[in-house]
Chain A
């Protein structure tokens, strides 16, 4: 199973090369991978449906106790089959849709990687694995939305999706860490069994909010719903795959997965059901106001995700059952409708519902797919969508919280769904098209087969619903409600309130269809063209962020060396001074140091040099005086028995003077630019840091010497490292890693200097 999850990443590595060398065969072979994986997961359905999850654990980062764990249970199985099954259709469809685009290989590489990441997320057996794959799906989504990277709107849509879902991902990580801390384990089976512990823990509120942050951003719930329609900038198969059937369901997956741990509180009901209900209505209304096929479908996806969230928010067994049914139905009909939209765009050259029409004759199979999918969306018998809608109503009617209100809202949302189904599924094929539209060219086989398969499956499941329930749906429901489930599905329940509600939905939906044109003319003119984005808040926030960054850069990176130096010294002084205060200052009294005359002489040279630097008028004089300070320090090294240091210091001083002279040679003479106040400030700064360093030295010297480190070096230098020069042995052996780091810094600094010098040359040519 490990291999099954990860093979997508391997395929992603080879896809670009494969598609460049053998575009035709690569396109034919690519769908075989998701198909094979689909069959592989199907082969595990026996034990999984009996409630025996398949668990695979491989050590990943043993030093941190993190395993790479996979956990295939009923819920994971449903998602794995959706991901690979829909993936097969998408992979089948994409080569014909792109029609030999040069970047097909790249697109497939990302698609393979995305599929693997999706499988990893939904089959993850612990929180860390789940999070890593979760972020990978977001990354793939970013790359795929921005596939047409030369278009500005693609790039900004991709960035928007990345920022929104990435921000949610950060919240999710924080939530996971809290959850793992509360439970004491990151493993999914342990977590699923500790629901009561988590719900009664004081950290329940932050955990819930953070996890919902992740789920709501990924699944485009209000107030994060705006990114999904903009993500339609991606090529249509991508929209069908990522942004309707699979990735946007990850938030729903998260709600379902953690229902046994987090659900069942008032807070959960209010937050999840509230956001879901609002999103459901908003998405439905906006969908009806749009004209572009893809945008209509996108908003209706937002609406369907809202329904799913609402149902998981209610969380009764009936609601969970309805949600799992809708999960399956929606994936089937929505991917089909998206693929139809892509085929229409490809064949008839338009996605505008006001232009398309009467195409049933020229594209009969595509029309069949679209109509089947539309009927499923509208919830008509004998399709699986009908059973789904009945069960949604059944769940809401017995909802423990405001059953009448919820049913009423759902009636409205479902009626809007009916309208969307008519506009997108029937509209393009019936009636008359705009005369401006060129006659469509015939479609390749895969372009109509790929949408027809899921639509047909929706019909098949509707006709024989009893077949899929115990194998696929019961295990998934059982996982979410943490109790065994056995549902009975049938098309005909007799005349009851659900059926009446279905009829009412249909009538209301058709009424909206008939009066839509007239209703649209009543709206303000700016609403007529559709294209609702709803991302005003996001745009404002992003703009404010960028402005803040610019302001901060102006303040912090002001380009004046003097201020940088002051900031560095100030921070160092502050932190050192604070530590110094904490430690209680200087202990005891200090004896006046006794010393030989030559030691005092060396000290005197240093002091005189330092004083000369500050008062001299000549640049060269200042350099020489600085050099004197350095030589004085080396003298001290020699006097106190550190010949290595002294030697190095001498060389450094010499080279530094040469460098200074080379630079200063080109500078104008000293001029007095600073005011006395500024000079006083600088003097205070210098005196403060100097004084503090002196105090620090005195303090360190007053501490008792901790001898064990140097003793170790002295004792082991010869036997372990074969060297008598302890300083050098420390540098190249005991602490060689430090030295390696330091020389890397040196190399980078040298290259930086070189780069600066080169940038000043007019020809820019180095030797």
Chain B
């Protein structure tokens, strides 16, 4: 499936889509968006790249294995729940930094949780798509 139009477009689109997925993740708390849809957009971007350039190339730009993405996503989501435990609050209480950071804005454990969801969803979608593509 080599198409010059697809591969040219994807080179332009890939960074944009990935950036967009992070943007969705970060704005999710206040505007439409969130970790789930952000992860899906990221997975779609990489899948598109894999369609254009092949699975091996997709693995190259991904650097880590999708399974590691899933595992780290679970770990991050879980840690966001465990951090409040250490301060003596119930599991998964929202903790927030008292001041805003540049770019990221207001930061707290729910954002960390969303990041975990993002990683896990992206990893899951990619794991399935890439291993199906490898079959060909």
Interface of A toward B, CB cutoff 8 Å: 643-644, 647-648, 651-652, 654-655, 658-659, 662-663, 665-666, 720-725, 727-729, 731-733, 736-737, 739-740, 743-744, 746-747, 749-751, 753-754, 757-758, 760, 767
| Per-residue A-contact encoding for B91-127, CB less than 8 Å = 1, 0 else | 1101010000000001010110110110011011101
- Sort chain B's interface into a size bin: 35 or more
Q: Are A736 and B110 in contact (CB under 8 A)?
A: yes
User: In the complex, which of the residues B36, B123, B129 contacts A731, with contact meaning CB atoms closer than 8 Å?
Assistant: B36
Inter-subunit contact A736/B120 (CB<8 Å) = no
Is the Cβ of B73 less than 8 Å from the Cβ of A739?
no
Main secondary structure of the interface of B (DSSP, over half): helix
Give the Cβ gap from A650 to chain B, nearest Cβ, in Å. Answer: 9
* In the bound complex, CA of A750 to CA of B51 (Å): 20
Contact: B32 with A747, CB < 8 Å?
no
Expressed in whole angstroms, the minimum distance between the Cβ of A742 and any Cβ of chain B is: 9
The reply on B52 being an interface residue by CB < 8 A is no
Selected from A652, A655, A743, A760, the residue in CB contact (under 8 A) with B120 is A743
Is there contact, CB below 8 Å, between B40 and A723? no
B40, B114, B129: the one contacting A651 at CB < 8 Å is B40
Given A658-B129, A722-B96, A747-B120: A648 in contact with B30 (beta carbons within 8 A): no
State A435–B40 Cα separation when bound (angstroms): 83
Q: Report how far A751 CA is from B35 CA in the complex, Å.
A: 20
- Of all A-B residue pairs in the complex, the 9 with the closest CB atoms, nearest first, are A651-B40, A723-B29, A750-B124, A643-B32, A724-B30, A662-B132, A732-B110, A728-B34, A757-B131
> What would 18 A/B residue contacts be, using CB atoms closer than 8 Å?
A644-B37, A648-B36, A648-B37, A659-B128, A662-B132, A663-B132, A722-B96, A722-B106, A725-B28, A725-B33, A728-B28, A732-B29, A739-B113, A747-B70, A747-B124, A750-B124, A753-B127, A753-B128
Instruction: Determine whether the beta carbon of B33 is less than 8 Å from that of A750.
Output: no
- A737 engages B92 (CB within 8 Å): yes
Name the residue on A nearest B48 (C-beta): A658
Distance of A757 Cα from B129 Cα, bound (Å): 11
Count of A-B residue pairs with CB < 8 Å:
142
User: Once the chains bind, are A648 and B40 in contact (CB under 8 Å)?
Assistant: yes
In whole angstroms, how far apart are the Cα atoms of A725 and B28 in the complex? 7
- CB atoms of B29 and A722 under 8 A apart: yes
Q: Are A736 and B113 in contact (CB under 8 A)?
A: yes
Chain B residues within an 8 Å CB radius of A659: 128-129, 132
Q: Are A743 and B121 interface neighbours, CB within 8 A?
A: yes
What is the CB-to-nearest-CB distance from B29 to chain A, in angstroms, rounded to a whole number? 4
Question: Is B10 engaged at the interface, CB distance under 8 Å to the other chain?
Answer: no
Q: How far is the CB of A652 from chain B (nearest CB, A)?
A: 7
Q: How far is the CA of A529 from the CA of B112 in the complex (A)?
A: 72
Check if B120 sits within 8 Å of A654, measured CB to CB. Answer: no
**Residues in A neighbouring B111, C-beta threshold 8 A:** 732
Can you name the residue of chain A whose Cβ is closest to the Cβ of B70?
A: A747
Are B31 and A725 in touch, CB under 8 angstroms?
Answer: yes
Majority secondary structure of chain A interface residues (helix, strand, loop or mixed)? helix
Contact A733 B34 (CB under 8 A): no
Contact indicator per residue, chain B 43-59, by CB within 8 Å of chain A (1) or not (0): 11001000100000001
List CB contacts (< 8 Å) of B52-107 with chain A.
59, 65-67, 70-71, 73-74, 77-78, 81, 91-92, 94, 96, 106
Interfacial chain B residues near A721, Cβ < 8 Å = 94, 110
Tell me how far the C-beta of B10 lies from the nearest C-beta in chain A, rounded to whole angstroms: 14
Q: Is the CB of B37 within 8 A of A743?
A: no
A660 and chain B: residue at smallest CB distance: B132
Closest beta carbon of chain B to A287's beta carbon, Å: 59
Which residues in A have their C-beta under 8 angstroms from that of B28?
725, 728, 732
Q: Are B133 and A740 in contact (CB under 8 A)?
A: no
**Nearest-CB distance from B101 to chain A (Å)?**
13
A733–B135 CB distance below 8 A: no
How many whole Å from B34's CB to the nearest CB in chain A?
4
Whole-angstrom CA separation of A652 from B121 in the bound complex: 11
Q: How far is the CA of A651 from the CA of B117 in the complex (A)?
A: 15
Contact indicator per residue, chain B 9-27, by CB within 8 Å of chain A (1) or not (0): 0000000000000001000
Report chain B residues within 8 Å CB of A725: 28-34
Q: Given A655-B40, A725-B29, A736-B92 in contact, is the A750-B123 Cβ separation under 8 Å? A: yes
Given contacts A648-B37, A767-B65, contact A732 B113 (CB under 8 A): yes
Complex contacts, A666 vs chain B, CB 8 Å: 135-136
Whole-angstrom CA separation of A652 from B39 in the bound complex:
11
**Closest Cβ of chain B: how far from A651's Cβ, in Å?**
4
Of B32, B67, B121, the residue contacting A644 (CB under 8 A) is B32
Q: Does the CB pair B40–A652 fall under 8 Å?
A: yes
**Chain A nearest Cβ from B30, distance in angstroms:** 4
Report yes or no: A644 in contact with B34, Cβ–Cβ below 8 A: yes
Report the bound CA distance from A651 to B38 in whole Å. 9
Cross-chain contact A757 with B135 (CB below 8 angstroms): yes
Instruction: Indicate which residue in A720, A723, A732, A767 contacts B30 across the interface (CB closer than 8 Å).
Output: A723
Q: Are A655 and B113 in contact (CB under 8 A)?
A: no
Question: A753 to chain B: closest CB distance in Å?
Answer: 5
